[in-house]
Each structure stands twice: as structure tokens, then as C-alpha cells.
């Protein structure tokens, strides 16, 4: 990709050329984790859609596809052990991912230098499990939604039911075989205690054992994560596990930051490796308005993250050197309340490319000069055009005149050529 990005078509010579040759290319990534999260539960994307995502990621030197494929709204994973979960929890029989689909996608991504990390959404956002196995989910479709969930439909795994642990561990075993990557995302975000404290089975369970709901929650989480580790996986979680619930996590846990950029400092101060996805910079779904069914979103600063804002985000800001060294990289996130296969590419690209450049190149040149965000437009304009030529429907960054005459439209202090 590094070489291909300096190749240009010459209309004069009617061939491809490498301008300003010879080149001495020194190119390597600043961060090892350069990712994109895609939510395929709220809206289903077929495997060919995911292939296009993987292709475009590889062009942008992004190497981690974080697959958020289960959520409250649908259960599209076709489990071998529990086929009723997808048969009743997917949007339809054709809106499922079979084992062959997953294996083929993982192999397709591997051939393009992209890892695929599965996320098992638990114990929150779990309504879709209830359609196949009702007894393992609490507060299903309770109203008003605001008291039981951040976003309808309500439903969390019943953490007092032994059947729940059995099902979760079996799903972990299946996914560990299908996804060979060494990381496994155990989720843990947006859990609402009111869901459990209004479940009579859980209330009785706690009373019989003289336990608090937080003690039971912690026990469930630790058991789940230990089972993932027994499959020789590194556990990744959302930041609430560490910073809101204040669980003591093993030091090898990867903490993904999303609730604003301040969480990066809080997690690294505690000595945890982090992946940065701060919603106020790197969420790609915000700024399109909230769907009527989701008036309770706690995403801060839910405005549109323009490409320049995405690019300007310094994930090391306000960190000591030791804290900054704990950052493994970052992910941009495409949640799919208001996205599906008809519009997702234009929402992701080219803004994800802006984050991809930061995660690959960092913030300084090899000679120590600051890479100015204003100058990035000179690279992103032609790069967007090339992505479109390659078949990705990336959104325009400005009017066509500026693409053809960028120096007439933008004042830049430094022109970065690579």
C-alpha cells in the first residue's frame, strides 16, 4: 500500500508513473492496533459488505476489524450448540452468520493483513438472547425503557441463573474456535442495575446468599473473563468495567475507552493497556440525530465528528510518557442505529482514513516535525478519489473544484507528500 499510494496515472503518457523518483521509503506503524468497529446487530450487513470493509481497511493500513455482531436488537450468530438463538433472535433466517461465513471472513481478512476480533456483548444489551432461551434474560422489553436500558429493547443476561453461565461459556468456546485471534472482547458496557433489582429471581438469589448486586455482577464478569482466558485469549473490555464499576481486573486486560477522551488518562494511570475510541472524536455514527427510540444515549458531545476533528485527535494528550506507552492504538466506531448497507460506506470513509493515518504515522515526522492536521487535506482529497475508483463509496470532503485545485481552497503551511 505504501508503494501504491505514490503511483499516479499520467494522462500525458497514458500510463502509471511514480513522480519525483527515486524514493527512499521509510514506513512503519506508530501503533500496532489500528481498528474499525462495525455494529452488524442493529442493522445486518451481508458478508460481501464486510469484505468491502476489509478491503478498504487494508488500503488504509488498518489492521483490526472489531466485529460487534451481537446486541439487544438481533442475534445473527448461528450457534451450533444453540441454533434457536439465531433462528428466533435474528431478524430473519437470511440475516444470520453461519460458521462458514465467519471462517471465510476471517480468512479473507487474514489474507489482507487484517485481524478479526469478536465481541460477545454481555451481560448488557442482551434482549435478543431471550427469543431463543427466555430464562437467561432479565427485564425483557420493560417500559418505560429509561428505567431499564440506555436504548430499547431492554434486557440483560440473568446473572443469577446457572443456565446463563452454561450458555455464555458454550458460546465463548464456539467463538474461540471460529476466531483464532489472541484477543477476545468481553464487552461489559452500559449495564443498568435496575434491570436486575427488579427481577424477583435475582432478588431472591441475593437475599439467600446475603450478596449485593454488585458482588453478583462482579462474580459473573470474573467467571466469564476467566473462561475466555482458559481459551488462551487476552480479554478486552469497555471502560465501564474499570472506571465505572471499579472492578479489579487482571493487569493484562485491554481497556477500550469510549466515553469521552478523559478515560484514556484514567485507565493508563491505573496501569492498564488501552485502545482508544473516544466518542467525542472517533465515533462515526454521531451527528445524524438520535432515532426516536433512543432518547437516552449517554454519548457525550454527540455532534458530527468532521474529518478534521477525527484527524486532530491526539490520543496521547495529557499523558505522561509511561501512560502514553500503554496505548496499543485505537478504533473508530460505526454503530448502526442509523446506518445500514445503503449508507455505511459514506459514513465510515474517508473519516476512518484520517484516523488510520494518525494510527500509522503518529503525530511527528521521522525528523521530529509535527504533522499538521491542516495539511492532511492535501492527502485525503486524492485518496478519497482513489477509494471511489476502487469501488468504495467514500463521501466527498469538499466541492470538486477543491479536489482539483486544493491550493486555491486551503491555506496550508506544510505540504506533506507521503
Of the candidates 187, 194, 247, 185, the residue with the CA atom closest to the CA atom of residue 218:
247
> Is residue 40 within 8 Å of residue 341, measured between CB atoms?
no
Of the candidates 317, 329, 315, 323, the residue with the CA atom closest to the CA atom of residue 281:
315
Peptide bond into 144 cis (omega under 30): yes
Peptide bond into 350 cis (omega under 30): yes
Rounded CA-CA distance 363/371 in Å is: 5
Of the candidates 334, 392, 332, 335, the residue with the CA atom closest to the CA atom of residue 33:
332
- C-alpha separations of 197 from 133, 287, 380, 408 in Å: 21, 34, 50, 62
Q: Is 357 a catalytic residue?
A: no
Active-site option among 119, 121, 174, 190: 190
> Is residue 235 within 8 Å of residue 225, measured between CB atoms?
yes
- C-alpha separations of 232 from 38, 123, 272, 341 in Å: 25, 21, 19, 34
Kindly report each contact of residues 343-347 with a partner whose C-beta sits within 8 Å and lies 24 or more positions away, as own/partner: 344/38, 344/45, 344/49, 345/52, 345/56, 345/392, 345/393, 345/394, 346/393, 346/394, 346/395, 347/284, 347/285, 347/395
Catalytic residues: 190
Amino acid at each position: 500500500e505504501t508503494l501504491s499510494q505514490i503511483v499516479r496515472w499520467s494522462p500525458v503518457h497514458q500510463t502509471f508513473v511514480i513522480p519525483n523518483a527515486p524514493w527512499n521509503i521509510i514506513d512503519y506503524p506508530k501503533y500496532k492496533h489500528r481498528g474499525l468497529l462495525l455494529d452488524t446487530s442493529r442493522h445486518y450487513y451481508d458478508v460481501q459488505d464486510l469484505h468491502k470493509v476489509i478491503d478498504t481497511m487494508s488500503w488504509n493500513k488498518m489492521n483490526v476489524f472489531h466485529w460487534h455482531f451481537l446486541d439487544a436488537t438481533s442475534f445473527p450468530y448461528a450457534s451450533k450448540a444453540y441454533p434457536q438463538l439465531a433462528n428466533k433472535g435474528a431478524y430473519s433466517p437470511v440475516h444470520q452468520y453461519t460458521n462458514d461465513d465467519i471462517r471465510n471472513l476471517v480468512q479473507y481478512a487474514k489474507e489482507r493483513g487484517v485481524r478479526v476480533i469478536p465481541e460477545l456483548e454481555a451481560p448488557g444489551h442482551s434482549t435478543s438472547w431471550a427469543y431463543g432461551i427466555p430464562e437467561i434474560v432479565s427485564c425483557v422489553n420493560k417500559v418505560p425503557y429509561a428505567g431499564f436500558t440506555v436504548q430499547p429493547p431492554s434486557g440483560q443476561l440473568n446473572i443469577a441463573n446457572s443456565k446463563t453461565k452454561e450458555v455464555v461459556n458454550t458460546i465463548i468456546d464456539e467463538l474461540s474456535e471460529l476466531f483464532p485471534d489472541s484477543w477476545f472482547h468481553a464487552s461489559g458496557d452500559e449495564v443498568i442495575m435496575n434491570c436486575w433489582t427488579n427481577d424477583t429471581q435475582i432478588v431472591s438469589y441475593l437475599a439467600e446468599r446475603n450478596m449485593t448486586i454488585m458482588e453478583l455482577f462482579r462474580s459473573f464478569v470474573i467467571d466469564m473473563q476467566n473462561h475466555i482466558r482458559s481459551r488462551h485469549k487476552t480479554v478486552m473490555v469497555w471502560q465501564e468495567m474499570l472506571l465505572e464499576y471499579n472492578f479489579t481486573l487482571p493487569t493484562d486486560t485491554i481497556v477500550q475507552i469510549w466515553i469521552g477522551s478523559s478515560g484514556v488518562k484514567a485507565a493508563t494511570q491505573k496501569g492498564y493497556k488501552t485502545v482508544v475510541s473516544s466518542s467525542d472524536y472517533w465515533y462515526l455514527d454521531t451527528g445524524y440525530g438520535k432515532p426516536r427510540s433512543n432518547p437516552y444515549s449517554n454519548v457525550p458531545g454527540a455532534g458530527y465528528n468532521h474529518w478534521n476533528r477525527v484527524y486532530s485527535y491526539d490520543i496521547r494528550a495529557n499523558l505522561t510518557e509511561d501512560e502514553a506507552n500503554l496505548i496499543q492504538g485505537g478504533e473508530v466506531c460505526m454503530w448502526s442505529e442509523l446506518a445500514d448497507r445503503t449508507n455505511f460506506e459514506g459514513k465510515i470513509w474517508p473519516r476512518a482514513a484520517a484516523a488510520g493515518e494518525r494510527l500509522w504515522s503518529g503525530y511527528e515526522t521521522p525528523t521530529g516535525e509535527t504533522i499538521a492536521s491542516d495539511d492532511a487535506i492535501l492527502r485525503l482529497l486524492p485518496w478519497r478519489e482513489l477509494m471511489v475508483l476502487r469501488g468504495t463509496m467514500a463521501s466527498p470532503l469538499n466541492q470538486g473544484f477543491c479536489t482539483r485545485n486544493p491550493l486555491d481552497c486551503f491555506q496550508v503551511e506544510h505540504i506533506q507528500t507521503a
